[in-house]
Structure formats: C-alpha cells, structure tokens
Amino acid sequence: MEMFDERIAKNLVDIALDSGVNFFDTGPNYSGANAETRLGKMLAGRASNVFIGTKCGTHYVNGRHIKDYSTPALTRSLQESLKKLRVDHVDMLQLHDMPRKLDDEIIRFLLDAKQKGDTRLLGVSTNIPGAEVALASGVFDFVMIEYNVIKRNPEQDLIDRCARAGMGVMVKSPLAQTMYSNEIFKIRKLADIWYFLRALKNHRGKFLEGRKYNFLADVEGASCHDLALQYVLANPHVSCAIIGTTRPAHLASNFAASLKQIPEDIKKRIEQVR
C-alpha cells in the first residue's frame, strides 16, 4: 500500500475481500513502515479467511530502507510484523531480496520460524539469480519473481523448473508497470508527467521493449491491461499475481480480468515477439 488516505485504503481492502481476493502481500518497510499496521487493523476479525504474506530483511530506519539479514534483525522484524498484523502467525514469510550469501544463520532462522509456527511457508521475493539460489537451496516453498509480457525469458524456464521441484511461484509486476501501453504518453495531470519521467529513468529498457506490444491496445473487447494480466495467469505454474493499486476501479477491472482467459491467438502473438 502506498501512503494515502486510510479510508481509501480500507475501501480497497473491503472491495478485495468482497470480490474474493484471498491473498494480501505486505512488508515491514512498505508505506513508511505503516502498511502492516494498516492491514492488521483492516483485516481484524477477518484474517482467518485470508492468506497473509509479509517479508523480512529490509527495515525502514529514519526514512531509509536498510538491509539487515542478521538473526537479531530478522527475529525482531518478524515479531513486530506479527504484532502489527494482529496475528499469531503469517501464512508466508519471505526474504525481501536474496542476500548476497544465503548462509547457515539465515537458513536456521527461516527453518526455526517455520518450526515454531510463526509462519506456515517460506519464500523469497527476488530476481532470477536469487530465485536460482532459492531453488538450489531446497529451503523455500515459494519464490516471487517478475514475470510479464515483456519479461518472459528466462522467467518461463525458471517457473517450469520450480514447478518440477514442488515450489510455488508468485508474480510481482505482472502488468510490467504498463510499459506496453500508449497511455503513458497521455498527459492529463502533473502526476502523469512524473510517472512518464520515472519510467524513462528507472525502466528505460522495459519502456523500449514495451513498444513491441502496442498491438495489445487494438484487441477488440479487452483492454491491454486485461490481456497482460491474463497472459501471466495463463501459466499453469503461477500461483498468483501481486497487483498494487490505489483506485477501486482498477482493482475491480483487474479482478474481472483474472476470471477470463486470454485468447489463444493473442497469447501466441505475444510469445512470438523477440
């Protein structure tokens, strides 16, 4: 959750629950270290009906995001997360990025947290090299990686190998920051200028690659965003797609799109792009 009006945030959570969304992904450093507290308050009395995942390894200290994978820091982070979320355990605890070295101390912390019942499952939110480490370790139940119409290879191969190893896959950035859409060129307000400039600065490669997928905007009866999401969910080994939004209309649209299948001809056309 971004740091915006709490009434809007609560409305989004209520809409998600009413729509059938049953997984909430958060982290101790999100939204200025307020996301877990907000979510805990909004899910109070309803947490048993949803799947909650949080993270450890990134800490919000004096306005900065600090990495610390030491046992004391990880332990403190997990216990604070449980308190903020108002639960006695989370369904999934993820390392927030793969540390430079996945050493015995980190592995021992993770396995102990699972054995004690503080978490049901272990995961890591990471990139492809980090996911390779996770796969080889045999420690993790899930990986969370970026996978979308723009970033497909070697992601698809990794997803297949995770499935063969019995690991689940969650997808972050399933909409590829909408870099495949021409809407990024439509400047309606100052925030649109900021988003466009940020895209050029932080996602230049993805922005340029996204121009190859302009044909998605011409598909009759579906938006390019619907098709992009449906493409990700069409992979049988993807457990869920993580989407962040601040607008109820976007949430409703994404949920509706997730219930439909991408047309096979569009899927093939996406996969023909090189």
DSSP string, 220-238: TTS-HHHHHHHHHHTSTTE
- Provide the pLDDT for residue 98: 97
Please report which residue ranges of the chain form alpha helices under DSSP H: 6-19, 35-42, 71-85, 104-116, 128-137, 155-164, 190-202, 204-210, 224-233, 248-258, 264-272
- Provide the pLDDT for residue 245: 86
pTM for this prediction? 0.91
Q: Which domains does the chain have, with CATH numbers?
A: 6-272 (3.20.20.100)
- Provide the pLDDT for residue 197: 81
Averaged pLDDT in 10-residue chunks for the chain of 274 residues? 73 92 94 92 87 96 93 97 97 97 98 98 98 98 97 96 98 91 77 75 82 91 94 97 90 93 96 94
- Provide the pLDDT for residue 3: 60
- Provide the pLDDT for residue 75: 98
Whether 32 and 81 have beta carbons less than 8 Å apart is answered as no
Per DSSP, 245 falls in state -
- Provide the pLDDT for residue 2: 46
* Both tokens assigned to 138: 């045999």
